[in-house]
Amino acid sequence: MEPLIYYPTFEPPTEIWLKFALLYFENFKPIVPRERTYHLSDDFRRIIDNTDLVSLYSPDYSDGYNASLVAIEETERYFNAPHSRSFLLREHNVITKWQNPDNWKFEVCQEKFSIDWSQYCLEKNIGRRTNEGILLPEELAFLFMTFLAKEVAFKESAAIITDSNKYDSVTNFYRASTPSINGINCFSKNIIQLLVPTDLEGVSFSKLIAFRNRNRDLIREFNLQIEKVQDKIASGYSDRDFIDSFNNVNSEIAKEILRFGLGTVAIPFAFYTLLHNPAALESAYSKEVLSALGVVVGGVFGLRKGLKDNRSRRYCKKYFSELETLGY
**Cα–Cα dist 105/141, whole Å:** 9
Q: Is the pLDDT score of 5 beyond 70?
A: yes
Number of domains in the chain: 2
Confidence band, pLDDT 50/70/90 cuts, at residue 240: low
Q: What is the pLDDT of residue 110?
A: 97
Is 2 in the same domain as 131?
yes
**CA 179 to chain CA mean position, Å:** 13
Does residue 304 lie within any of the structural domains?
A: yes
Q: Read off the pLDDT of residues 34-53 as tens digits, 9 standing for 90 and up.
A: 999 999 999 999 999 999 99
Is 156 in the same domain as 223?
no
Does residue 328 lie within any of the structural domains?
A: no
Q: Is the pLDDT score of 249 beyond 80?
A: no
Q: Is the pLDDT score of 55 beyond 80?
A: yes
Higher pLDDT, 246 or 184: 184
Q: Which domain covers residue 14, as residue numbers?
A: 1-177
Last residue of a domain, one of 146, 177, 208: 177
In angstroms, the Cα distances linking 269 to 194, 276, 289 are 9, 11, 11
Q: What is the pLDDT of residue 113?
A: 97
Does residue 252 lie within any of the structural domains?
A: yes
**Cα–Cα dist 23/189, whole Å:** 9
Q: What is the pLDDT of residue 54?
A: 96
Is 162 in the same domain as 212?
no
Q: What is the pLDDT of residue 293?
A: 39
Give burial (CB, 10 Å; 0-12/13-18/19+) of 65. Answer: middle
Last residue of a domain, one of 158, 177, 196: 177
User: In percent, how much of the chain has pLDDT > 90?
Assistant: 41
**Cα–Cα dist 195/328, whole Å:** 13
Confidence band, pLDDT 50/70/90 cuts, at residue 267: very low
Q: Read off the pLDDT of residues 174-216 as tens digits, 9 standing for 90 and up.
A: 877 666 666 666 666 666 666 665 677 888 999 999 989 988 8
Angle at 195 between CA 192 and CA 200, to 5 degrees: 60
Is 53 in the same domain as 79?
yes
Q: What is the pLDDT of residue 190?
A: 66
Is 191 in the same domain as 124?
no
DSSP string, 200-234: GGGS-HHHHHHHHHHTHHHHHHHHHHHHHTHHHHH
Strand locations in the chain, DSSP E?
4-6, 29-30, 106-109, 128-129, 133-136, 159-161
Last residue of a domain, one of 177, 209, 236: 177
Q: What pTM was computed for the model?
A: 0.70
